[in-house]
Amino acid sequence: MLFNMLWTSSLETLYMVFFSTVFALLLGFPFGILLVITKENGLWEHPKFHQVLETSINILRSFPFIILMIVLFPLSRVITGTTIGSTAAIVPLAIGTAPFVARMIEGALLEVDLGLIEASESMGASNWTIIRKVMIPEATSSLINGITITIISLIGYSSMAGAIGAGGLGDLAIRYGYQRFQINLMCYAIVILLIIVQATQWIGNWFILKRKKKLG
């Protein structure tokens, strides 16, 4: 029974983290690119739009996750039909993480050598071509590192989401480990979370190393 509980909760955590990461990247990646290209001297300079976008992202980033999750309960209900469970938690997890993803993308793309961008512009490359074939490939290592950090953050967020009925290892640790004083169960959940975090970081580091070797 203990093994089944830990196995089921681990799968729920991985399910939440995987789909939350996918949707957070889909939401945050375009906004991260827009932050870079609309800034002063950017590919598509638009100061007013940039200011509005930056302010909106900063506001979303300032919300504590638990509060944001409660605020987004109605949206979770509209999209998933419920506010309880792993699937419902994906909505606030993705939306709550998207602003951080946008900033991560922005930071990675800003590391790209301006000389490469200027050279591409002088050769007549379009903005989309520069983004797709110059900026993103050059920033790949930083992007992988940022995505790794995002996944690890989502593992922590998914555990917090367990406090308000999201399921997963966080829910297991709170309901059984803390509230029912099954300390061994809580310890097992923590160990599994640590293993997932370490494995995620190792995989991220491996991809970064592989990319650096490819570039020579």
Domain boundaries of the chain, sorted by first residue: 14-167
- Rounded-to-integer distance, Cα 119 and Cα 133, Å: 13
Q: Which fold has domain 14-167?
A: MetI-like fold (1.10.3720)
Tens-place pLDDT, residues 135-192: 999 999 999 999 999 999 999 999 888 877 788 888 888 887 777 777 888 889 899 9
Q: Is the pLDDT of residue 29 over 90?
A: yes
Picking from 150, 192, 180, the residue whose alpha carbon sits closest to that of residue 11 is: 192
More confident residue, 64 or 53: 53
Q: Any long-range contacts for 180-184 (C-beta under 8 Å, 24+ apart)?
A: none
Per DSSP, the three-state class of 42 is coil
Q: What percent of the chain has pLDDT over 70?
A: 98
Picking from 170, 144, 147, the residue whose alpha carbon sits closest to that of residue 157 is: 170
Q: What is the end-to-end Cα distance of the chain in Å, rounded? A: 51
Residue 103: predicted pLDDT: 94
What value does the mean pLDDT take over residues 27-47? Answer: 91
